Amino acid sequence: MLHAILLPGDVLGSPAFGFVDVRDVAKAQIAGIETPGNHRVLIGSSEWFDLRDAVDHLVVARSEMKDRLASPVSMKRTLPAVDNARVVDILGVSVTPWRKTVEDGVDSLLKVEKEWEEAGIDSSALQNHPTRLALLAAGEELSKAKSQAQA
């Protein structure tokens, strides 16, 4: 999902289910194994954001990337954030703020792109990845629907 904002174009704003840092999921999984008892917890971003918010943040935090970022459609949702109190209380795992997750994720993707480039791998094929194409199509449909609704 995050890679979709690194390629210019309109993409759908975000999934309806929110985001979570995979590193937090891994920490929670390990803590769950090590913590006695049978605990079920929900872990996720404690603040709602969509890909438009992520791009807006990156324009400030990584201004040199401004020209290569997508233009996601804002979902303009105010969904309740996940309450991670049980994750902290039971498992002792804190949740990474979404801005750090976005920055670290983008840094990781840029590192991989650089490694591929140095190895002679053409990463332009990612522009036609099925997930990206689906996001582009959904973004176009949403833009059309908004235009028709405003007309």
Each residue's pLDDT tens digit, 30-70:
999 999 998 889 898 888 888 888 899 999 999 998 888 88
What tokens were used for 31?
A: 């803590």
CB 126 within 8 A of CB 4: no
> What pLDDT sits at residue 149?
73
- By CB neighbour count within 10 A (0-12 exposed, 13-18 middle, 19+ buried), where does 83 fall? exposed
Each residue's pLDDT tens digit, 31-42:
999 999 988 898
**Angle (deg, nearest 10), helices 98-118 and 51-61:** 70
Each residue's pLDDT tens digit, 73-105:
777 766 667 889 999 999 999 999 999 999 999
Each residue's pLDDT tens digit, 102-131:
999 999 888 888 888 888 877 666 666 665
pTM here?
0.75
The span from the CA of 6 to the CA of 122, in Å, is: 16
Q: In sequence order, which residues have a C-beta less than 8 Å from that of residue 99 and are 6 or more positions away?
A: 57, 61
